[in-house]
A and B are shown apart, each in its own frame.
Chain A
Amino acid sequence: MSKHWFWWALSMACVVWYSTITVYVAIKGAADIKSMLARLGKGRRTGDS
């Protein structure tokens, strides 16, 4: 581990960062989709009227 600390640290950082970001993006991304579709829906209704 100490001999190749760079690759060990980078590998662990990948697993930890990726796990965390997946949960965070899953929650925040769902909210983004909701607001994006709401804006698009509103735009279409405005365009139709």
Chain B
Amino acid sequence: MTNFNWLLDGSIVGVYLLVTMIAGLMVRKYVGNVEDFLVAGREMDVYLGIASLAATEFGIVTCMYTAQNGYEKGFAGATPGILMALAMAGVGLTGFVIKPLRDSGVITIPELLEKRFGGRIRWAAGVVIVLGGLLNMGVFLRTGGQFLVLVAGLDVRYLEIMMTALLVGVAFYTILGGMLSVLVTDFLQFVVMSAGLILVTILILMNVGWEKLVTTVETHYGAGGFNPFVNSTMGWEYVVFNLMLNIASVLTWQTIIARVLAAKDTRTGRKIYTRTSFFFVCRFLIPGIWGIAALATLGPVANTLEAMPTYLSTAVPAGLMGILVAAMLAADMSTDSSYMLTWCSVIYNDILAPFRKQPWSQRKGLFWNRTIIALIGIFLLLYGLWYPLKGDLWTYLGVTGTIYLASISVLLIACCYWKRANSWGAAASIVVSAVIPASYLVMEQLPSTAAFAKSIGPYYSGIATYLLSGAAMIIGSVLRPGSRVEGRPAHV
């Protein structure tokens, strides 16, 4: 039984979807060339950037895994959010990596890497970025559908239909309007999403109460529910892995970097980073509080990922339920559209680069960008339907993201700041960074190696990937000096 009222809440959701679709489609007329399509003609200003970045980096999937973290780890589950906020603020204030990246005027990270390491590394980096990004995004749809089905009380059989409908709607305006549609809809989605998140949190704090939330965490997790270092499922390795992961994400996660590249200048890009940084604490802590409230109300449940939506389905009253569902749809649509466009930009700009010996016309470029987005949508639909998720969602996202985060962050830092870095080091770093997490994922799925994978754990595997990827860059560059494309940092 759920409080979702089809007339009242359904109308709120319907109006929201209609307004978003109209806004997304209206701006398509401003798309005149590939740069308009991929980086909005580099005309984005600070506040639109903040709204877009916040909306993109908060999807239903985010809400689900951060609530799961809160349910399973208590307040300590918000640790990755604090680490990401610190990383974001630090990079924004110093301009570390993002300044040379934006100054270079590239559309994607591999394009910058080519200036230093050559065309082959650009291509390989593009493949690794798309592979890690799509595997990461592959679970978004199913998780989003799970949330909506549980909260709205729909039959589970409708999950696939909901996922498909959601994706088709998002793909429609993204294909037509590219980054411009993404930015305008992100803005609307940020407002709706934020309103829903704030209202539901206030409702929970009033109904459940702070004292009960704290007592619940104390009862179930003791001191570990407040301190990640003494939590039995976290520990120093969890904190170190998440620190590395978040620094790498801030520097190289293409959907985040896309906002810097679409910003009207470098100063604007840095401001977007510093002013959005605290949002990343909210991103983990607010749904974390929802997860703790679910634990306080429902007690232990078999599927911890579903605890929060199950709790909300009865805790949120009609009317507010419509705002909540609209908010979560907003969150999901903004994430899906940005992610599809971002991976498309890398496929078009970098992976297809060798096939563009002669420059393509703008018309042909736009056609291929739109086709790639449609193909990504089909892939997501198929992958989302069959991949069985094992372990907790945040860890899966961390491991798949590490496939590219480790090597690309090493390559980017070396490209901008280390004169001796060369293509041999870059290639070694990419191979090491892809092999370790991919092997871990395969071992986790195979019955014969699942126990071994579990004994290593995702955190040690992740830490090893970052360290060995950095070591591979140094060793490769030192062993084969003189093979770099240029003898100076790429952005100079």
B51 lies within 8 A of chain A by Cβ: yes
B50 lies within 8 A of chain A by Cβ: yes
A29 touches B47 (CB 8 A): yes
Known: A22-B191, A36-B45. A8 touches B183 (CB 8 A): no
A32 touches B191 (CB 8 A): no
Q: Complex formed: what's the CA distance from A30 to B458 in Å? A: 42
Q: How far is the CB of A49 from chain B (nearest CB, A)?
A: 13
Of the residues A4, A14, A15, A25, contact of B190 by C-beta under 8 Å: A25
Q: What residues of chain B lie closer than 8 Å to A8, measured between beta carbons?
A: 210
B235 lies within 8 A of chain A by Cβ: no
What are 6 contact pairs spanning A and B, CB under 8 A? A1-B211, A25-B47, A29-B190, A32-B47, A33-B187, A36-B48
Interface residue ranges of A5-42 to B (CB < 8 Å):
6-8, 10-11, 13-15, 17-19, 21-22, 24-26, 28-33, 35-37, 39-41
Q: Complex formed: what's the CA distance from A22 to B194 in Å? A: 7
- Please count how many residues in chain A sit with their CB below 8 Å of the partner chain's CB atoms: 34
A14 touches B281 (CB 8 A): yes
Q: Complex formed: what's the CA distance from A3 to B211 in Å? A: 11
Q: What residues of chain A lie closer than 8 Å to B78, measured between beta carbons?
A: 10
A17 touches B43 (CB 8 A): no
Q: What residues of chain B lie closer than 8 Å to A3, measured between beta carbons?
A: 214
A14 touches B286 (CB 8 A): yes
Of the residues B27, B32, B281, B285, contact of A47 by C-beta under 8 Å: B32
Q: Complex formed: what's the CA distance from A6 to B289 in Å? A: 14
Stretch in B135-143, B159-167, B197-205, B460-468 with 4+ CB within 8 Å of A: B197-205
Interface residue ranges of B9-50 to A (CB < 8 Å):
27, 30, 32, 36, 40-41, 43-48, 50
Interface residue ranges of B202-234 to A (CB < 8 Å):
202, 205, 210-211, 214, 226
B43 touches A18 (CB 8 A): no
B286 touches A41 (CB 8 A): no
B298 lies within 8 A of chain A by Cβ: no
B75 lies within 8 A of chain A by Cβ: yes
Q: Hey, which bits of chain B sit against chain A, CB under 8 A?
A: 27, 30, 32, 36, 40-41, 43-48, 50-51, 54, 75, 78, 82, 180, 183-184, 187, 190-191, 194-195, 197-198, 201-202, 205, 210-211, 214, 226, 278-279, 281-282, 285-286, 289
Closest partner residue, chain A, to B50 (CB atom): A25
Q: Besides the contacts A18-B286, A33-B187, what 8 more A-B pairs have beta carbons closer than 8 Å?
A: A4-B214, A7-B214, A11-B285, A14-B286, A18-B282, A26-B190, A29-B190, A44-B30
Q: What residues of chain A lie closer than 8 Å to B278, measured between beta carbons?
A: 13-14, 17
A7 touches B46 (CB 8 A): no
B75 touches A4 (CB 8 A): yes
Closest partner residue, chain B, to A19 (CB atom): B198
B226 touches A4 (CB 8 A): yes
Q: Complex formed: what's the CA distance from A44 to B293 in Å? A: 52
B198 touches A15 (CB 8 A): yes
Q: Complex formed: what's the CA distance from A30 to B184 in Å? A: 9
Known: A14-B282, A17-B282, A18-B197. A26 touches B48 (CB 8 A): no
Closest partner residue, chain B, to A14 (CB atom): B282
Q: Complex formed: what's the CA distance from A8 to B214 in Å? A: 9
Please list the 7 inter-chain residue pairs (A to B) with the smallest Cβ-Cβ separation, ordered nearest first: A28-B47, A32-B48, A22-B194, A32-B45, A29-B47, A14-B282, A7-B75
Q: How far is the CB of B458 from chain A (nearest CB, A)?
A: 25
Known: A4-B75, A22-B191. A33 touches B48 (CB 8 A): yes
Q: How far is the CB of A6 from chain B (nearest CB, A)?
A: 8
B184 touches A33 (CB 8 A): yes
Q: Complex formed: what's the CA distance from A16 to B54 in Å? A: 16
Q: What residues of chain A lie closer than 8 Å to B279, measured between beta carbons?
A: 18, 21
Q: What residues of chain A lie closer than 8 Å to B187, measured between beta carbons?
A: 29-30, 33
Q: What residues of chain A lie closer than 8 Å to B43, measured between beta carbons?
A: 36, 39-40
Q: What residues of chain A lie closer than 8 Å to B282, measured between beta carbons?
A: 14, 17-18
Q: How far is the CB of B175 from chain A (nearest CB, A)?
A: 19
Q: Complex formed: what's the CA distance from A15 to B40 in Å? A: 32
B210 touches A1 (CB 8 A): yes
Q: Complex formed: what's the CA distance from A43 to B30 in Å? A: 10
Of the residues A1, A6, A29, A43, contact of B50 by C-beta under 8 Å: A29
Q: What residues of chain A lie closer than 8 Å to B47, measured between beta carbons?
A: 24-25, 28-29, 31-32
Q: What residues of chain B lie closer than 8 Å to A33, measured between beta carbons?
A: 48, 183-184, 187
Closest partner residue, chain B, to A7 (CB atom): B75
Q: Complex formed: what's the CA distance from A36 to B42 in Å? A: 9
Closest partner residue, chain A, to B226 (CB atom): A4
Q: What residues of chain B lie closer than 8 Å to A26, measured between beta carbons?
A: 51, 190-191
Q: How far is the CB of A14 from chain B (nearest CB, A)?
A: 4
B45 touches A35 (CB 8 A): yes
B195 touches A22 (CB 8 A): yes
